[in-house]
Amino acid sequence: MNKLSVRDVDVSSKRVLVRVDFNVPLDERTGAITDDGRILAALPTIRYLIDQGARVILASHLGRPDGKVDEKLRMTVVAQRLSQILNQSVEAIRDCIGAEAEESVANLKSGDVILLENLRFYAAEEDNDPLFAQELAKLADIFVDDAFGTAHRSHTSIVGVTKHLPAVAGLLLEKELRMLGGILDSPTHPFAALLGGAKVSDKVAMVENIMGKVDCILIGGGMAATFLKASNREVGLSLIEEEMLDTAADLMEKATRSGVRIMLPDDVLVANEINTKATFKVVPVEAIPANMRIADIGPWSVKSFSEELRGCKTIFWNGPMGVYEIPIFAEGTLALAKLLAGSQATTVIGGGSTAEAVTHIGLADKMTFVSTGGGASLQFLSGKSLPGVDALLDRDNPVSS
Ligand code: ADP
Ligand code: MG
């Protein structure tokens, strides 16, 4: 990585502001954290800073409070969980700037950790606001960005604050860039991309960017319908993106020209509607009934995708193979998650839903790497830079801009 990391600067006794991604899912009824994966992912940086004797000031957004205080979106519950995990007190501060935050910071001793209030209680957070940036920066001597999940956003706590403090990467951010960068720069071949999920339009830039690097692209999920239609198959009531038909055809042609194999499903599970009570059956893609829609890939597709993936040394997976939220449509996603989990290949998972599916099945720790960034990982794999990364100090030229 060409950016400085937290290991490259002296943090001992320093006040270190760490932007983390603690945007954890909460139970609607009880407000309890339903998945603490994002908290766990930030632990290496937090523990490193504690060990180095830094004064640790954590900051994150949580949910969408739209620039005002929302009692349901206070960081208290996150501070409690982090405190349990670290086995040390983590105080939740009732504000993220101003007198109360400043006083709490002034009282910090080496190795102490506090968590500031939800950054998005201020509308200025999403506006990359210079005054809000100054207020945040006032709290610290050094800024560490460990929030890969929001690195594609030019928000105040990600970009603005770096104008005032030496800014370096946290260990999670560094690892994300190393793992995702690794599959782009130096993948071990054969390299396959297994793609699914809802929409082709979300993924076109990424597919174009990885086209020159992969040996094979396997397409399932909702986006398979658009590719099937572009290959002159009838897809019944499946959601297709009309405006993406030409793009899909182009991508397939480009693939052929560059010697990249594109695999579409041989069979699919079709349903009369997308819910738990649906009637469904497996059909070959040549025989999708006009009154049904694709909800998952079928067993033959699982078999042919599996055979292809078994021969690969690097596998990148983005996008579930079906509507995995509904158990009757989750078989394809489940089967391929198991295959990847048992594979000797380097397996990298990107995409919010895909990571969630793999975690829900309990196989996340069997993968080489599961990215914590949905949108950020897509943008990075599309070959576009991330504002949150660009803003950090360069390794070769560490002069603050
Ligand atoms: P990720 O967040 O991993 O990048 P996406 O956001 O692209 O994935 O897509 C995830 C969504 O795609 C899931 O909600 C899933 O239900 C939906 N999906 C997958 N297959 C289908 C399908 N055949 N029809 C409709 N939706 C689908
Ligand atoms: Mg998604």
pTM across the whole model: 0.93
Q: Which atom of ligand 1 is nearest to the CA of 199?
A: 7
Residues 229, 210: Cα–Cα separation, whole Å: 23
Whether residue 199 lies in the annotated active site: yes
Q: What tokens appear for 313 in the block?
A: 């040394």
Which H helix or E strand runs over 331?
helix 331-342
User: Which member of 138, 163, 199, 313 is catalytic?
Assistant: 199
Query: 315, 327, 321: which is closest to 370 by C-alpha?
Result: 315
Give whole-number Cα distances, 139 to 64, 195, 309, in Å: 24, 43, 50
Residues 197-250 pLDDT 10s = 999 999 999 999 999 999 999 999 999 999 999 999 999 999 899 999 999 999
Residue 400's pLDDT band (boundaries 50, 70, 90)? low
Q: Residue 24 contacts by C-beta under 8 Å, 6 or more apart in sequence?
A: 33, 34, 35, 36, 37, 38, 39, 62, 78
What domains does the chain contain, in order, with CATH numbers? 6-174 (3.40.50.1260), 187-381 (3.40.50.1260)
Ligand number, closest to the Cα atom of 318: 1
What's the pLDDT tens digit per position in 147-165? 999 999 999 999 999 999 9
Q: Residue 46: enclosing H or E segment and its boundaries?
A: helix 37-51
The best mutation among 353, 372, 382 to test binding of ligand 1, ranked by most ligand atoms within 8 Å of the C-beta, falls on 353
Instruction: State which of 209-213, 344-348, 359-363 shows the largest mean pLDDT.
Output: 344-348
φ, ψ (nearest 5 deg) of residue 192: -120, 145
* Residue nearest atom 10 in ligand 1 by C-alpha distance: 197
pLDDT band at 401 (very low <50, low <70, confident <90, very high): very low
Identify the residue whose C-alpha is closest to ligand 1 atom 14. 323
Select which of 15, 38, 81, 293 is catalytic.
38
Run of H or E residues at 252: helix 245-257
312 Cα–ligand 2 center, Å: 25
Q: Report the separation in Å between the CA atom of 351 and the middle of ligand 1, taken as the mean of its atom positions.
A: 10
Closest by CA to 335, choosing from 220, 239, 226, is 220
The pLDDT tens digits of the residues spanning 270-312 come to 999 999 999 999 999 999 999 999 999 999 999 999 999 999 9
- Alpha carbon of 197 to ligand 2 centroid (Å): 7
Say which residues have a Cβ less than 8 Å from residue 73's Cβ, sequence separation at least 6. Answer: 62, 63, 65, 118, 120, 121
User: Which DSSP string corresponds to 97-117?
Assistant: SSHHHHHHHHT--TT-EEE--
Beta bridge pairs of residue 219: 195
Instruction: Give the pLDDT confidence of 2-17 residue by residue, as tens digits.
Output: 999 999 999 999 999 9
Question: Which tens digits make up the pLDDT trace of 22-51?
Answer: 999 999 999 999 989 899 999 999 999 999
Which atom of ligand 1 is nearest to 202's Cα?
7
Cα 323 to ligand 1 centre (Å): 6
